[in-house]
Structure 1
């Protein structure tokens, strides 16, 4: 891949100057930015940043949602040989201190007042942070902080410089090499400080093009960019592949309008983590439960047919003519309108990753004609390691290795990957780099899994999290917490789970209910409640969750290796786990060790045999205030099933 992101920008601008590069919804109207317009904006920003003093090899922090001027800023920094460092826009101010200081950041781009306030708050701890440019001026008119200015001033400065030095921008771009650092992404690790993952133009573009070739992506694709730019998955789908293919990236007006904007755009290429697909399905099922008897009956009848026939049709397997005709009728009456309502009428390829997806959820989308597939990768691998072919999508695997990827399973079950998309290293952390990259180029993923008989990769859990029970009737039995957690999260009424058992005599879990799904369930049963804490402790809700837990136990009993991981006891937490409270990472992964420490009285009560425990927890509210939530939580025992022995 002997090119760079800015060179691809100039290539598109030269070959397709009037074609749409990006769209942004502003005040309810979609505004289009062409490739030539984007190149012009990038040049002005690059010249402005050069005038401000940004130099080759320096880092530029970018904080905000997906916006054309944010993307242009990334390109402008890369044009100068500088390294953009996107940070999560929902991160607390304190979380920005380490990345800014670690990367010695002098310049930052902030989307709006919220991001500006965070950067100003941490400035005393980051004295080298000298300039902050903002995009949205609302609320910032009376700010008089040194070094704070609108991005418009940067553009104006750059426009004047570009007029006087017309050759500067293309010459700067030509100085960049494919193996130069293109971006740095800070992992939201579950323990310790985040690590800066360094990627070159070559590594990111190689994987972007490999993924595009696998799914035959072209410049005709439409993508909705709604996930955090700091997450490398969003960066690959809406930045690297965008520039590699030249398709159109659409930026929603706000987080609150994403579903409306999704329907208006009708993307052809779509990515969402499982929780988004779960939320969409929960919304559908809630609406259907509230529908009239005739409409509800038609929906359920059509869905029974879809689950039986739809996946086979998606996998291009033989289907009886009568069933095929019946599915087409169902498509006319139910599936087509449902896809349209979800915004998926034009989706040709849809991916999910990050966590396991429930087989029922996976089957639902494929059965109604949505080509939902899974992929496997990480920040360190530039995302694309394994993808599922269109006719081999399965809920229990993450696909086959794609072009350029080698996979090996170590003796301890760890997945090792060798690929042209591997990180250059962790920034200023040679020891961490040496821990994950072997001398012969193998990356240690820390994931445990195996290659099945069809060549698909199957992930079980994180290697460090796979443990053993100690004592009791299941002494020595394997315990895979993430596997247990995911099986419970497959139920629509359960949003989050934290499982414990390693080194203990049994498995116990703490549960977060899905407030919307359980709230709707309670309302249909005339069960009154006053907020999450009250609803979570209702005896009826405990019975609902107990039923889910015991279904998982029955399923685990049939698994020879994990029958000992059945859940003995559970409680429902009095608050939702939250990244702002340190309980989740910014990519919504459970910080199991942190939670064990924070809720030590609850963990102790689960294993001491108590049936209730008082807990008071400090929380942060959205407006920045702190408070506390307290409750006496019930602890419930569940049924354990004898292991099902395989027939001789």
Structure 2
């Protein structure tokens, strides 16, 4: 693998090229951590690069070419990220469906997209693929605990482990270009119209570099990926900075455990949405003492908007610090808000805790999907105009 990395371009212009750069500069450094069965599993930058190349080799052998699209149905997990980078390695596009979408909505979206290449997390997602009556060229899945044998016995579903075990082709170059689409996002608008949003490698890297510079992010950052990049803002302000700055990216065990995992991890970088911070605000409110109790009076005393020196010091020790620990913000120095602004009460609450949430725009625009793309999601997406 080291011999292959020596042949990479000097200036990275795509996400996979940045992966190769990090693997060359800090091969033993921790790139990914994933909590599985209560234990944090670790992958180094060298391991990630090797596994991505193995996946790219396997996809290439199964007919995935430049301009093709890999559609991903998954909650946060490293396998989805590595599959994304493998598709982009080959000059393809990663189309991520939001893991929080209802099963029926996701099935309807799949019916309209009719994708050829699909990554599914587990049996639940595989059943959605079947329910959409698709005829894909390849479907592979990550979680085989509930998938017995070779899926339905007819070889229609392939285990992720068998693909990542492919011997990597060290002669397989990265085929993407800076202006190619890296990510595609889709949604069904009112009336069932299919809308799209696309982001190029150049756009991601430009905005990622800007964030790294402004926030002064380095290799020692810890970030939590709780939405699996199924929104443009997460790709802009978490995935791209991860590759550029070379810090550690952590995946929770599941969406249900993300808050507990955040508390345990104590990330230094948090990239959340209006919904993320609103949910955390509500979580803290449910844990406050009853209104009127002396404990509640103590909380209100400590969280005064303009405390004196004594109140500020005692309030931080007694209330603010424990509440930051509850939220998992004990070490956070970069709390980012991606997209829509926060309600004033939520913004004020975090400010009282000493957490400065900084807004970063999500400039992606939803556009009607061109009719010329026919019935499939593959083969056209890199040829269309890029979004500003």
Structure-2 change in CA distance of 1:74 and 1:346 (3 Å): same
CA contact (8 A) 1:221 1:247 kept: yes
CA contact (8 A) 1:64 1:89 kept: yes
> Given the alignment of the two structures, is residue 428 of structure 1 paired with residue 370 of structure 2, yes or no?
yes
> Given the alignment of the two structures, is residue 70 of structure 1 paired with residue 74 of structure 2, yes or no?
no
Deviation at 1:253, TM superposition (A): 0.4
Deviation at 1:185, TM superposition (A): 1.5
User: Cα deviation per residue 1:48-78 (whole Å; 9 max; x = unaligned)?
Assistant: 1111111111111111012111111011111
Could you tell me which of 328, 341, 355 is aligned with 1:343? Answer: 328
Please list, as runs of the form range in 1=range in 2, the aligned pairs for 1:464-613 lying within 5 A after superposition.
none
Number of the residue aligned with 2:306: 308
CA contact (8 A) 1:222 1:267 kept: yes
C-alpha distance in structure 1 between counterparts of 2:101 and 2:258, whole Å: 20
C-alpha distance in structure 2 between counterparts of 1:215 and 1:2, whole Å: 21
CA contact (8 A) 1:59 1:103 kept: no
Could you tell me which of 97, 119, 134 is aligned with 1:87? Answer: 97
Unaligned 5+ runs, structure 1: 310-322, 381-422, 431-440, 444-648
Number of the residue aligned with 2:194: 194
Greater relative contact order (Cα < 8 A, sep 6+): 2
Number of the residue aligned with 2:7: none
Structure-2 change in CA distance of 1:44 and 1:442 (3 Å): closer
Query: Please, what TM-score do these two structures have when normalized by structure 2?
Result: 0.85
Number of the residue aligned with 1:140: 147
Structure-2 change in CA distance of 1:155 and 1:27 (3 Å): same
Aligned partner of residue 308 in structure 1, secondary structure: coil
CA contact (8 A) 1:4 1:202 kept: yes
CA contact (8 A) 1:198 1:426 kept: no
Number of the residue aligned with 1:519: none
Structure-2 change in CA distance of 1:344 and 1:90 (3 Å): closer
Q: RMSD across aligned C-alpha pairs, in angstroms?
A: 2.7
Structure-2 change in CA distance of 1:188 and 1:32 (3 Å): farther
C-alpha distance in structure 1 between counterparts of 2:57 and 2:191, whole Å: 40
Structure-2 change in CA distance of 1:221 and 1:130 (3 Å): same
Aligned partner of residue 289 in structure 1, secondary structure: coil
Deviation at 1:442, TM superposition (A): 10
Deviation at 1:206, TM superposition (A): 1.0
User: Cα deviation per residue 1:337-395 (whole Å; 9 max; x = unaligned)?
Assistant: 11112111111121224444222221121122111122332323xxxxxxxxxxxxxxx
CA contact (8 A) 1:93 1:122 kept: no
Aligned partner of residue 226 in structure 2, secondary structure: coil
Could you tell me which of 165, 171, 175 is aligned with 1:167? Answer: 171
Aligned partner of residue 10 in structure 1, secondary structure: helix
Please list, as runs of the form range in 1=range in 2, the aligned pairs for 1:121-520 lying within 5 A after superposition.
121-123=131-133, 126-127=134-135, 129-142=136-149, 143-144=151-152, 145-156=154-165, 158-159=166-167, 162=168, 165-168=169-172, 172-173=173-174, 175-187=175-187, 189=189, 192-290=192-290, 293-304=293-304, 307-309=305-307, 323-380=308-365, 428=370
Query: Greater shift after overlay, 335-344 or 17-26?
Result: 335-344
Structure-2 change in CA distance of 1:264 and 1:188 (3 Å): farther
Aligned partner of residue 182 in structure 2, secondary structure: strand
Structure-2 change in CA distance of 1:367 and 1:190 (3 Å): farther
Query: Please, what TM-score do these two structures have when normalized by structure 1?
Result: 0.53
CA contact (8 A) 2:186 2:197 kept: yes
CA contact (8 A) 1:58 1:105 kept: no
Structure-2 change in CA distance of 1:356 and 1:272 (3 Å): same
CA contact (8 A) 2:93 2:184 kept: yes
Aligned partner of residue 357 in structure 1, secondary structure: coil
CA contact (8 A) 2:72 2:118 kept: yes
Structure-2 change in CA distance of 1:353 and 1:50 (3 Å): closer
C-alpha distance in structure 1 between counterparts of 2:369 and 2:18, whole Å: 26
Deviation at 1:426, TM superposition (A): 6.3
